[in-house]
């Protein structure tokens, strides 16, 4: 009884929810169909629910063989079988994007937050090239406990939002752009250097990570430290 389950190729971290408040989540990318089927079965059996990210359609098909009611969202590429918290989501997490192309990353964040019991407000395509679109929605955004701001190219959206709100902004740079966007590096560096306060940054295209942190903060805001 050492807090993990030994598979041939992996050590499932069965004590993770106790330690961190979240069960182990599956990073599907690069895993074989056989590995995924085994991992999904074990985690579902262990935790009563299972959530994975960056799943290919073919991986979905494979896992469906062993978990027929597994749910797949082809845009955000999350693959999951939900949990009870969905019934009454708590608090509010705003997920905001600069453009249309940032939506898949935003949806990864939103679906992560929803899976772990959060109430999500989506505000998409409100980038700084047309600030009035953002301004028209700011009052609504201000009702959230935490904001996930998703942007590629020059990544200016979190700076603008950060100057207008009281709650933390989790900035997610995306690989949307070309040329000197360097696959999201420019957005990442830009967000790092924001002249506004209250902004912290996760890896390029890491919607899942942002959704996770937003869930942590949302829980704290609703329930306090347990």
- Residue 95 CB contacts under 8 Å (≥ 6 apart), including other chains: 106, 109, 110, 113, 120, 121, 122, 123, 147, 148, 150, 214
**Cβ at position 97, least distance to a copy of itself in Å:** 10
Nearest CA to 130 out of 103, 157, 166, 102 is that of 157
Interaction with a copy of itself in 96-125: which residues (CB under 8 A)? 98-101, 103, 124-125
Bridge partner list, 6: 11
Interaction with a copy of itself in 181-220: which residues (CB under 8 A)? 181-206, 209-210, 212-213, 216-217, 220
For 141, other C-beta atoms within 10 Å of its C-beta total 21
Interaction with a copy of itself in 7-36: which residues (CB under 8 A)? 9-11, 13, 15-16, 19-22, 25, 29-31, 35
Find the part of the chain contacting a copy of itself (CB under 8 A) among 44-52, 61-69, 82-90, 143-151.
Answer: 143-151
**Cβ at position 174, least distance to a copy of itself in Å:** 9
Which CB atom, from 8 or from 69, has the smaller least distance to a copy of itself?
Answer: 8
Which CB atom, from 69 or from 220, has the smaller least distance to a copy of itself?
Answer: 220
**Cβ at position 13, least distance to a copy of itself in Å:** 4
Q: Give the C-alpha separation, 208 to 180, whole Å.
A: 25
What are the phi and psi torsion angles at 71 (to 5°)? Answer: -110, 135
Interaction with a copy of itself in 59-98: which residues (CB under 8 A)? 91, 98
């Amino acid at each position: 009884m050492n807090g993990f389950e030994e598979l041939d190729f992996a050590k499932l971290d069965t004590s993770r929810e106790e330690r961190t408040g979240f069960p182990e989540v599956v990073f599907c990318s690069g895993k074989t169909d056989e590995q995924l089927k085994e991992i999904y079965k074990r985690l579902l059996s262990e935790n009563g629910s299972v959530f994975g990210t960056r799943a290919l359609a073919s991986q979905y098909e494979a896992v469906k063989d062993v978990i027929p009611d597994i749910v797949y969202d082809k845009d955000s590429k999350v693959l999951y079988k939900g949990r009870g918290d969905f019934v009454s989501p708590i608090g509010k997490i705003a997920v905001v994007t600069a453009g249309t192309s940032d939506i898949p990353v935003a949806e990864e964040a939103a679906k992560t937050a929803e899976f772990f019991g959060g109430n999500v407000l989506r505000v998409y395509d409100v980038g700084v090239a047309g600030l009035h679109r953002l301004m028209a929605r700011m009052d609504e955004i201000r009702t959230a406990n935490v904001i996930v701001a998703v942007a590629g190219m020059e990544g200016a959206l979190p700076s603008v939002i950060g100057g207008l709100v009281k709650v933390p902004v989790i900035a997610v740079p995306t690989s949307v752009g070309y040329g000197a966007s360097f696959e999201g590096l420019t957005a990442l560096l830009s967000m790092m250097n924001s002249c506004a306060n209250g902004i912290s940054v996760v890896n390029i295209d890491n919607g899942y990570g942002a959704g996770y942190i937003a869930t942590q903060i949302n829980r704290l805001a609703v329930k306090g430290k347990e």
